[in-house]
Amino acid sequence: MMHPTVPIEVKNRDFFDLLKSMSKTGFQGRKLGEAFEIWLEMLNEEKITILMGLAGAMVPAGMRKIVAWLIRNRFIDVLVSTGANLFHDIHEALGFKHYLGHEFVNDEELFRDGIDRIFDVFALEKEFNEIDFMISEIFEESEGVFSSREIIERIAERIREEVKEESIVVSALEKGVPIFCPAIADSSIGIGASLAKRRCVVDTIKDVEELTELVAKSKKTGVIYIGGGVPKNFIQQTEVVARLKGYDAKGHDYAIQITTDSPQFGGLSGCTFEEGISWGKISHRGKKVQVFVDATIALPILAHGLLSAKRVNFPRFRFGESVEISFS
């Protein structure tokens, strides 16, 4: 049956109603509305684990409090992030800042002045260095072999009493939301660790085992990707690993991606969920949508729409010899 598009009326309304209206329009506005509807459907599932992959410089761009809010309200249950986002979160949580800058600037002068640029956002190198050395101390004080999840928890415990701002890592520690960082060395956390005189070992293969078991033991899974890169693939590949380990894994049941990358160049950040079906990473029966838009536009709109939402039930995790999952 053919359904007509419904033009958006300009009127006083909340973001929930606006996003619902956008789902009856066209192009990427419609896709954003569909992403919202899929997220709401996930929240209404009785037993589901919702995983978020976080790539790109989202924290310097001002998205930190949104991600922390999603964690505290259990609109996501697991976070897989680049190390950069976690480092910048620690930086801001301890009272340091990113600054409004400009992309049209003399970068050689910025270098001489100790200013680092992320497109139109500036940061002070000397402030980053303070965090580098703090992380170095944490690695020096730690002995043994840890997953990235465990070492991030140690960092969160260390800064918990010192934070001046809402923090992603501290929120996750307090709400029992595990954070995995499979490319932890590729960040300023890795730089800080390299400065340690004596350091622990971060076993990212342990991350593969833990996250795969977590996904395999979840009755249903939903994924939300902000950008793509390592976080997206790390979550996607759990379905492949699970099958190799003998689990009946048929792909993630729900999938949302916010990206500006295109599929025709072959990169994972832009590849479609339909392509993921061929790998068994996404269920062929799954509900899925990709929104091709800047995440700094889409994420605030989606989060404000979720202000009217409530989570029916969410998982609790216990990590030990194996991963145990129970629902509240």
- Domain segments of the chain: what residues? 27-314
| 170 within 8 A of 160, measured Cβ to Cβ | yes
DSSP 8: P
| 176 within 8 A of 316, measured Cβ to Cβ | yes
CA–CA separation, 152 and 17 (whole Å): 37
pLDDT in tens, 42-66: 999 999 999 999 999 999 999 999 9
Rounded to the nearest 5°, which phi and psi values hold at 174?
-75, -25
pLDDT in tens, 79-128: 999 999 999 999 999 999 999 999 999 999 999 999 999 999 999 999 99
**Dihedral sign from CA coordinates of 131, 102, 167, 255:** negative
CA–CA separation, 47 and 50 (whole Å): 10
Beta strands in 37-120 (DSSP E): 49-54, 78-81, 99-100, 115-118
Amino acid (one-letter) located at 182: P
pLDDT in tens, 213-254: 999 999 999 999 999 999 999 999 999 999 999 999 999 999
Q: What is the pLDDT of residue 199?
A: 78
Catalytic residues: 281
pLDDT at 1 over 80: no
Beta bridge partners of 54: 81, 226
| 282 within 8 A of 251, measured Cβ to Cβ | yes
Full-prediction pTM beyond 0.95?
A: yes
User: What is the band of 198 on the pLDDT scale with cuts at 50, 70, 90?
Assistant: confident
Share of the chain above pLDDT 70, in %: 100
Q: What is the mean pLDDT of the chain?
A: 96
Output the DSSP codes for 163-227: --S--HHHHHHHHT--EE-TTTTSSHHHHHHHT-SS--EE-HHHHHHHHHHHHHHSSSEEEEEES
- The CATH superfamily holding the domain 27-314 is Deoxyhypusine synthase (3.40.910.10)
pLDDT at 2 over 90: no
